[in-house]
Amino acid sequence: MKDVKNLLQGLPDAAQGEVFEALVAAGDVLVERIVSQGQASPPGFWYEQARAEWVLLLQGAARLEWEDGGEVSLQPGDHVLIAAGRRYRVAWTQPSGPTVWLAVHFPA
């Protein structure tokens, strides 16, 4: 039995669309790997989630926008806590290769 896995190996091809992979789902907590490649939220679309989300960028680059006009650029190792109910969108992800996120969703 192989217990050790690597989040940066065996990446799915995300060139045609983001890929979401649940790693742990327990009660109200979800841990997922997200692989993007050039995707962004559609114009006018905002995420507004009932749970808080902590996101760590593992590889690539991305930019998030907040509805209030704020913006944050993310590089590998950067992480951000998104409060439940805070409206945001993915403004940009690196198109030249995979952007890998680790996202933890949990009750507010």
33: β partners: 21, 102
Give the domain 19-106 fold: Jelly Rolls (2.60.120)
Q: Each residue of 12-40: pLDDT tens digit? A: 999 999 999 999 999 999 999 999 999 99
What ranges do the domains of the chain cover? 19-106
Cross-strand bridge partners of residue 58:
none
The pLDDT value recorded for residue 73 is 98
State the pLDDT at residue 2: 77
* 0.95 surpassed by pTM: no
pLDDT tens string 58-106: 999 999 999 999 999 999 999 999 999 999 999 999 999 999 999 999 9
Quickly list DSSP for 29-81: EEEEEEEESS--PPTT--B--SSEEEEEEEES-EEEEETTS-EEEE-TT-EEE
Task: Provide mean pLDDT across the span 45-60.
Answer: 97
Predicted confidence band at 3 (pLDDT cuts at 50, 70, 90)? confident
CA distance 102 to 52: 14
